[in-house]
Structure 1
Amino acid sequence: MLVLQVVLVGLFGLCLLLLAGFSLTQWQLTRLARRAYATTPTPQPPTPAEWPRLTVQLPLYNEQFVAERLIEACAALRYPPHRLHLQVLDDSTDATVGLVAAQVARYQAQGLRIDHVRRPDRVGYKAGALAHGLTQTDGELIAIFDADFLPEPDFLERVVPHFFLDEPDGPRTGVVQTRWGHLNEEFSLLTTLQAFGLNAHFFVEQPGRQAGGHFLNFNGTGGIWRRTCIEDAGGWSADTLTEDLDLSYRAQLRGWQFRYLPQVAAPAELPATMDALKSQQFRWTKGAAETARKHLGAVWRSRQPLSTRLYATFHLLNSSVFVAILLMAVLSVPLVFVRALGAEELRPAFRLASLFLLALAPLVFYFHTAWQQAARYRTSPGPGFVGQLVLFLAFSMGLSLHNARAVLLGLVGRRSAFIRTPKLGLLHRQGALQGRHYRTGRLLNGLTWLEGLLTVYFGVGIAAGIYLREFGMLPTHLLLATGYGLVFYYSVRHA
């Protein structure tokens, strides 16, 4: 019995230490981001004497609800026409093909240089499409927009000049990444919570990494690459599900610099259904684990400063936090019963458990996110901030089973197909899901039912803690039961 208690406490403590490590990284990134925001912002660089040849790549796969609006938005981008080339990289197998063909023909008739690029197969998925497109264009700069994005007309005019800032050793800016905006943040609780989490990345993590001189990542869309950077780093590869993160690390290990512009937003649509969100989360978390498996050794063998290697390690292993959350969560319920049986030696573990919320996500990290977001719109964080934070933490914990599975599959090298995230053409609260649903797979699978069982499991933990008057785990179990309940509810509702 004593051995079991020691094992339980040891595993629980290791999970908390891992979470605390990620939290310290977030706190440090917040400090760096605050310093960056406090300095005088970099003025908009002057326009280049000659605009470089630029290709806008639009990778599509069965995007019938958003393909037309994407092409219309990109056709409206302001740029010297003789230096601009639009490529619609269309791997679709549904009605999207006809819709795109009609749009491309319309703009070609107006004199726009735009091509409808079709491949005989979908080898390499998005990475393969991007690589194939490069062989059919002469662009020096490559802008990429996924199907759910709607760039503003001045996007290229605001971003391209940042490639021509003074670089005494020659051009080494390989990527300029912009912040994601949200077209349908207010559509539902699901989209609101996603926006809350993404804002932390774009308002704090990316500015913090840039301010500290650490590795950034291209976010897959809403940014521009220098073509020579892509080629020098080895080109697009489909051996991970996050081809963007993979190429980002290869390029920066080769000495290329990345720039991030929080002042420029690229609006995009958030997944509005649970199957869409789960497919996106699976791809992001498994792909990050695959990229960590691929590049962590190279990071530590590089001559980068120790701090940069440490930040890169936490960056690449960030999705592994879900494994720690899941393990800690499962262990927390039996700990309530063991502690109630009089195991005084477990009292320190329960005291540590009370610090779990601080270990998971420091309030200052998310408050600074909300503050910077509000500053963009000359407001202040609203009274609903605390409620959003609590629900976001709960929802993130509720996804831990789904995401932990993805992480473990990535770490062991299990290959899986690239499943795109369905886009439904939703704006704010306009539109309805009926008639626009696109399935990525069975939503009510064994994993979903297990999430429902875990909701009950953590409900038992709540009841046991109240009955046995052991309240150390109560906040954690409330969050877990709420989070898994939300995930299970939306999975059933959207099925």
Structure 2
Amino acid sequence: MTTVEIIFLGVYFTVLCVLAVYGSHRYRMAYLYYRHKFKLPTPRGVLPALPRVTIQLPIFNEMYVVERLVDSVCRIDYPRELLEIQVLDDSTDETCGIARACVERHRNKGLNIVYIHRENRQGFKAGALEHGLKVASGEFVAVFDADFVPSPDFLQRTVPFFADAKVGMVQVRWGHLNREFSILTQAQSIFLDGHFIIEHTARNRSGCFFNFNGTAGIWRRATIEDAGGWQHDTLTEDLDLSYRAQLKGWQFIFLPEVISPAEVPVDMNAFKSQQHRWAKGSIQTAKKLLPTILKSDLPFVVKREAFFHLTNNMAYLLMVLLSVLMPMSMVVRFHHGLYGTLFLDLPFFVTATASVCVFYVATQREQGVSGWARLKYLPFLMSLGIGLAINNAKAVLEALLNQQSGFARTPKTGSEGKSLKRVQKSYLGAKTLMPFIELLFAAYFTGALWFAIDARIYTSVPFIILFQAGFLYVGLSSLLRGRLKTAEASATLKSSEEQARRVA
């Protein structure tokens, strides 16, 4: 074996080892969850009087969901004289008229609701929240994104925790309005359930830092100000502010039993855009705050968890590198008669893939999902995670290279259940050249699969299929999903119009 081949295999196993470490972190999250799951948060003390609350609704071109959002927020059960609602609209389309009319309708009913429109998007969502905060009257500030439908008891179940003067933010769990829409929305829902049910609970109840998720949470206004306010030098202003606030000593509370339903993207390009923003923003936040965290006097366990939390998306860079190296490693070792060494890969792959299975099976189990239902989506979840690697690795590279980009909002369609409104093309995720790269990777793994079968290297076949299927699905869905869903929506709308004419 040549020196180049030895170095190549060394790099390959190093990448596998690091990915296995990040994969094993899921085991730790599951362990911490089960260790602390019964430490239920309860309010410490009683508020002497209900405080004044401002609810901020940042929106941008949300014509399909803005009415649903405003209507649901206006149904929140809280004394009218203590509640202020701000519709922070940066829209440039018909949303402006719809939102303004909706606000006026509720204002005429006696609600303290205001419409605030900016002519520019300076600072994007963070800028809108900061702009609204300047004129807000509330001592506490709740935030809801456009696709959320908060329950009427949201404030009743969150405000009491602020009786403890050290509590700076309370976050509730996201629900999913359109979980059943497609296999993609099912997968997203499971991903998000894992993040909220396992990760948030584990971090919060074990004394580690966790983050406000940008929506479905309520802040003590003094906490925002003490932490330096909303800043827009990262794409995840929520993660950034969360860590700055906790570094200042503020405590956060997570309430998994309080659920605020929301819509997940139905279009693959919209989903990838969302994942790109989250991945890039997390690395930007890591670059900004991780040195301060590691130099602080925080306990080692808090620093360690912050490191894994903020750098977790680095694994996507390694995943792309692994995708290039894995088939080549198989071929090199086969031609040198080192077929037996392929078994050395198994512990690393099992560590990474089995951790995914354990993590998400635990998530589904905690929701009371039946045995088969817990398992049937696991292969797709693993493939989808792999298929997103190129998209998210690009985001990580942009963050590492300080390449700036605008805040790309996730398009909302008003989807609930399996229904979908007609969607403007501008509301679908933008198409790029990325799908063609993903399809090239799928073709690469198709060749690797053929080689493995022909050479009877059957131990590699299941893993190759996971990679091949992931890149193929993500690539094809990116090219076709928007077109297919638009066609489905138009057909649904046409059918509804025909039924209405027959009734008339």
RMSD (Å), alpha carbons: 1.7
Judge conservation of contact 1:350–1:473 (CA < 8 Å) in 2.
no
Partner of residue 431, structure 1: 420
> Following TM superposition, by how much is the alpha carbon of 1:148 offset from its aligned partner in structure 2, in angstroms?
0.4
Structure 1 window deviating more from structure 2 (469-478 vs 115-124): it is 469-478
The one-letter code sitting in structure 2 at the alignment partner of 1:431 is L
1:153 and 2:142 equivalent?
no
Please state if 1:455 is matched with 2:454.
Answer: no
State the one-letter code of the partner of 1:141.
F
Aligned to 2:218: 224
- The DSSP-based 3-state class of the residue aligned with 1:472 is helix
Whether 1:174 aligns to 2:131 is no
Distance 2:274 2:340 in 1: 40
In 2, distance between residues paired with 1:472 and 1:296?
Answer: 40
Instruction: Please report the TM-score for the alignment, with normalisation by the length of structure 2.
Output: 0.92
Which residue of 364, 388, 395 corresponds with 1:370? Answer: 364
Maintained 8 Å contact 1:419/1:440? no
CA distance in 2 between partners of 1:410 and 1:437 (Å):
28
Give the secondary-structure state (helix, strand or coil) at the position aligned to 1:51. Answer: coil
In the alignment, which of 369, 373, 379 is matched to residue 384 of structure 1? 373
Task: Quote the offset at 1:14 in angstroms.
Answer: 1.8
The match for 1:15 is 15
Shift of residue 494, structure 1, vs aligned partner: 2.2
Specify the code of the residue in structure 2 equivalent to 1:200: G
1:341-372 deviation per Cα after TM superposition (whole angstroms, max 9, x unaligned): 0253x744542245414324513222211111
| Mapped pair 1:464 → 2:457 | no
Q: Any conservation in 2 of the 1:183–1:267 contact (CA below 8 Å)? A: yes
**1:335 Cα deviation (Å)?**
1.2
Tell whether the 8 Å contact from 2:12 to 2:322 is kept in structure 1 after alignment.
yes
- Tell me, in whole angstroms, the C-alpha distance in 1 between the residues paired with 2:370 and 2:424: 34
Counterpart amino acid of residue 430 in structure 1: S
Change (3 A) 1:361 1:199: farther
Secondary structure of the 1:123 match is coil
SS in 1 for 2:459: coil
Give the CA deviation at 1:44: 6.4
Whether 1:215 aligns to 2:209 is yes
CA distance in 1, matches of 2:477, 2:461: 24
Give the Cα–Cα distance (whole angstroms) in 2 for the partners of residues 349 and 453 of structure 1.
25
3-state DSSP of counterpart to 1:115: strand
Q: Distance in 2 between matches of 1:125 and 1:53?
A: 26
Aligned to 1:25: 25
CA 1:360–1:234 in 2, change beyond 3 Å: closer, same or farther? Answer: farther
Query: How many angstroms does 1:441 deviate by?
Result: 5.8
Shift of 1:440: 5.7
Superimposed CA distance per residue, residues 443-474 of structure 1 (whole angstroms, 9 cap, x where no aligned partner): 1x321111111111111111111111223322
Are residues 1:401 and 2:390 paired? Answer: yes
Contact 1:395 1:483 in 2 (8 A): yes
Q: AA paired with 2:143?
A: I
The aligned runs of 1:85-100 (5 Å cut-off) are: 85-100=84-99
Residues 360-408 of structure 1, C-alpha deviations (whole Å, 9 max, x = no match):
451322221111122xxxxx43413222111101011001011111011
User: Structure 1 length as normaliser, TM-score?
Assistant: 0.94
For 1:242-257, what aligned pairs fall within 5 Å after superposition? Answer: 242-257=236-251
Aligned-pair CA distance for 1:337: 1.2
Where structure 1 has 5 or more consecutive residues not aligned to the other structure, the ranges are 166-170, 375-379
**Which has the larger displacement, 361-370 or 477-486?**
361-370
The CA distance in 1 between the partners of 2:161 and 2:91, in whole Å, is 34
**Distance in structure 1 (CA, Å) of the matches to 2:303 and 2:332:** 40
Matches within 5 A, 1:42-121: 42-43=41-42, 48-121=47-120
Matching of residues 178-189 of structure 1 within 5 Å: 178-189=172-183
Could you give the per-residue CA deviations for residues 219-274 of structure 1, whole angstroms, max 9, x where no partner exists?
11010011111001101111000000011111111111111111101100000001
Q: What number of residue pairs does the alignment pair up?
A: 481
**AA in 1 matched with 2:241:** L
CA contact (8 A) 2:187 2:381 kept: yes
